[in-house]
Structure 1
Amino acid sequence: MTSAVFLGASPEGPVTQRFDKINRHGLIAGATGTGKTVTLKVLAQAYSEAGIPVFVADVKGDLSGLAEAGSPRDFLTHRAQDVGLEDYFFHDSPTVFWDLEGTRGMPPRATVSELGPVLLSRLLGLTDAQEGVLHIAFRLADEEGLLVLDLKDLRALLVHIGNNAQEIRATHGMVSPASVGAIQRRLLALENEGGDRLFGEPSLEVADLARPGPHGQGPIHLLVADKLIATPLLYSTVMLWILSELYEDLPEVGDTDKPVLALFLDEAHLLFSDTPKALVDKITQVTRLIRSKGVGIYFVTQSPRDIPDPILAQLGTRIQHGLRAYTPGERTAIKAVADGFRPNPAFDTGAVVTELATGEALVSTLDDRGAPTVVQRTLIRPPACSLNPVNDRLRARLIASHPDSAHYARFVDRESAYEILTARAEARVADGPEDEDDSPRGKGKGKGKKGRSRVPSSGSSGSRRRGSDSIAETAMKSVVRSVGRSLGREIVRGLLGSIFRSR
């Protein structure tokens, strides 16, 4: 098997990317209509053929064509001849569909505690004071052994905090009723936008993303995001959560012959829009460290200026499609792009980037020593998959045939903070009317279901369920899994801001 991806051809010869440098990350940039999507397809298929799993968000709906073989077209055949691709043939790639709504793919859920207070605060647009209340909520959940899995759990926890603000103030700090109310309103707005579909169990196992595919190929995991992108903050939060889970769960592998996963972050500018500097610093740190986990991250955006400089400096592969120079700001950006490449004496990089035709790109990769190669004006090879989205029938068949389809399709609502706090409050109401009811159902509701026995978790993350696991089995797996992940979770939540029980 070859040790490099064939990207295309330049006047100097073939342009390739070494498999063992894919985890050094990369950038795919260019103006709208210059060929970024086709380049993404070419890379995704090449990685898949080499046995490397891929995760990518389909923000426009056209990446689903990866699941279907392309059909002969004159311009594709001519492109293959121009780049010297002699064995060009059309084929599909093993594709796994994910969809937050659960209608066009398996739902990639997360528990509230897995998301953590920092990402959740960003998603809700909270102030510093309101974020502080969330940190208190997560700390209390850990101290009291309460699982916070979905939004009703978080609401119940906030009601509990509001009704016990005086006691909490003595040990954790001020809890303002106004802040609690503001968070509740933001949660309601998030539900109205469909964001509540993200939370619950079974939550996504990132190990499933790195599993080998059939016949030695790497599966291409496709997140359906054409509707999700309409809520940019939710989309970017989902992608950052997946990034953090990959860093937390995957083992250290160091430098290997090829990575264990390639992650493409399309519309990457949204990850850093209105993002606090402290969180950008954490993302930068994770980007640097996740390389040793065997994960390559590829930022896809219109301009390199969309990516913070500390992250941009870590991107070893640069694929720059055409840019336009109509304004002074755009001309400044072009100079910055040119300065970011190792110069090629054969041409002026700044001039060429404005002349590139659709399907052409300036490409620089890493050589065997890890040094950037001289920039090459490259004609990108044609993809082997369909250029059009797949039809609903093929999509449905691929979803139904996936071995994890039944597992992820079934929503599990087990005992967690909502049920525990409700049972406590109802028990106090039953013991005497003078006790205050801090149930999320409010006062005067009378008796309801009693609390069920529960195995407490050592952290606030939820466990996963497969097949016909009972509630008891699921709870026991949660304990075992929490112990095994405690150190990794402590590290990543230190990076991304969540608070877990002191150990």
Structure 2
Amino acid sequence: MDPILLGKGVTDDIQVFLQPRFGNRHGLVAGATGTGKTVTLMTLAEGFSKLGVPVFMADVKGDVAGLAMPGQGNDKLLARAKDIGIDGWAPADNPVVFWDLYGQLGHPVRTTVSEMGPTLLARILELNDTQSGVLDIVFKLADDRGLLLLDLEDLRAVLGLVADQRKDISTQYGLVSAQSVAAIQRNLLRLSQDGGEGFFGEPALELTDIMRTTPDGHGVIGILAAAQLVLKPRLYSTFLLWLLSELFERLPEVGDLDKPKLVFVFDEAHLLFDDAPPALVQRVEQVVRLIRSKGVGVYFCSQFPDDVPSSILGQLGNRVQHALRAFTPRDQKAVRTAAETFVPNPRLDVAKAISTLGTGEALV
């Protein structure tokens, strides 16, 4: 099985490959804006697709969609391909399926309120601890009484029931205040106005929809149109976390395979961990730690390595570090942190190398 060519060494002229059997060891692509992170992600996606591995990734800036069309070759590209050692290179398209939570730029993505669950829904709605506790009671009540929670209208109906029977429900399940119910209802209204209404309902997304291969054996690249979605960071990050959790809960154990069953790319990873409660970070750590044995490789992409908590960063075996510019104290700290995560090499000043890398260059 051919490995994925990532590039060629600047100092030693040796080709750098990612072996397919290590594809599920997870990874991190980091670097400042404009240093080549997106091209690295597209290279990985195209390489995995050729191996027959489906890929799911978000298109935050609108440029990943170009994978669906063949590029245009020119003398510079041909010379670069020859220099790297790619024989017979020619522009080619890739099998791509577009997805969109709003159903405008791709196939609509839907799930039910019940499948999302109270913890992740509370994050989308930006509820405080007290309001999140009331939402837990709402889900428990619906479960005990056999009430379906498919879409936001169902959730509003159960919230109305809780408001009407607040005293009895408070006695049985715990204190439910009218203020908390009203706050949840207001946040549901805001979510609906932001376009979240279409995300909840049936038919729900099936995992097989994002784990497809073509008749000729290529993995299908699922691209989530996220240029508008990323403007609502909680909804963007929580959706991807929900999808990752679904993969973790439903896929069977397969151990170490010759290649992953799916590669999941989490772009703008800092949005997942910004203001995330400890329980949520712990949940992400658990999923990342254990999902490898289910044949799924998770790749985070962000500007700074320390955007990812250290407990999760330690699980990421495949690292591609593009340039970081040490212009501010925050940048200088990020460069030192990034350097400390690499294996010590007496022949290389990693911190200096990271700050002097050119566009398209990286430490791997």
TM-score by length of 1: 0.71
SS in 2 for 1:284: helix
Q: Deviations over 1:1-48 (max 9, x none)?
A: 32x211111133111111111111000011000011111111000000
SS in 2 for 1:318: strand
Q: Which ranges in structure 2 are unaligned for 5 or more consecutive residues?
A: none
* Residues 1:151 and 2:152 are matched in the alignment: yes
Q: Which residue in 1 is equivalent to 2:227?
A: 226
SS in 1 for 2:216: helix
Q: Which residue in 1 is equivalent to 2:6?
A: 7
Question: Any residues of structure 2 matched to 1:358-397 within 5 Å, and which?
Answer: 358-363=359-364
Q: Which residue in 1 is equivalent to 2:337?
A: 336
CA distance in 2, matches of 1:90, 1:169: 64
Q: Which residue in 1 is equivalent to 2:179?
A: 178
Report the structure number with the largest CA radius of gyration.
1
SS in 2 for 1:241: helix
CA RMSD of aligned residues (A): 1.1
Q: Which residue in 1 is equivalent to 2:103?
A: 102
Q: Deviations over 1:380-404 (max 9, x none)?
A: xxxxxxxxxxxxxxxxxxxxxxxxx
Q: Which residue in 1 is equivalent to 2:119?
A: 118
Q: Which ranges in structure 1 are unaligned for 5 or more consecutive residues?
A: 364-503
Q: Which residue in 1 is equivalent to 2:272?
A: 271
- Give the residue type in structure 2 aligned to 1:263: F
Deviation of the 1:168 alpha carbon: 1.3
Deviation of the 1:79 alpha carbon: 2.0
CA distance in 2, matches of 1:250, 1:75: 44
Q: Which residue in 2 is equivalent to 1:389?
A: none
SS in 2 for 1:342: coil
Deviation of the 1:343 alpha carbon: 3.2
Question: Any residues of structure 2 matched to 1:40-439 within 5 Å, and which?
Answer: 40-363=41-364
CA distance in 1, matches of 2:312, 2:79: 37
CA distance in 1, matches of 2:298, 2:52: 17
CA distance in 2, matches of 1:226, 1:217: 26
% identical equivalent positions = 54
Given that 1:207 and 1:250 are in contact with CA atoms closer than 8 Å, whether structure 2 keeps it comes out as no
TM-score by length of 2: 0.97
CA distance in 2, matches of 1:74, 1:234: 43
SS in 2 for 1:253: coil
CA distance in 2, matches of 1:329, 1:79: 35
Given that 1:207 and 1:249 are in contact with CA atoms closer than 8 Å, whether structure 2 keeps it comes out as no
Deviation of the 1:94 alpha carbon: 0.3
CA distance in 1, matches of 2:277, 2:214: 38
CA distance in 2, matches of 1:211, 1:251: 17
- Give the residue type in structure 2 aligned to 1:26: G
SS in 2 for 1:335: helix
CA distance in 2, matches of 1:76, 1:266: 26
- Give the residue type in structure 1 aligned to 2:251: L
SS in 1 for 2:71: coil
Aligned length: 362
Deviation of the 1:345 alpha carbon: 4.0
Deviation of the 1:352 alpha carbon: 1.0
- Give the residue type in structure 2 aligned to 1:265: F
Q: Which residue in 2 is equivalent to 1:461?
A: none
CA distance in 2, matches of 1:346, 1:79: 28
Q: Which residue in 1 is equivalent to 2:24?
A: 23
Moved more, 192-201 or 75-84: 75-84
CA distance in 1, matches of 2:343, 2:84: 23
Q: Which residue in 2 is equivalent to 1:401?
A: none
Change (3 A) 1:351 1:59: same
Deviation of the 1:206 alpha carbon: 1.2
SS in 2 for 1:32: coil
CA distance in 1, matches of 2:159, 2:347: 64
Q: Which residue in 2 is equivalent to 1:492?
A: none
Deviation of the 1:289 alpha carbon: 0.9
Q: Deviations over 1:165-186 (max 9, x none)?
A: 1221222111111110110000
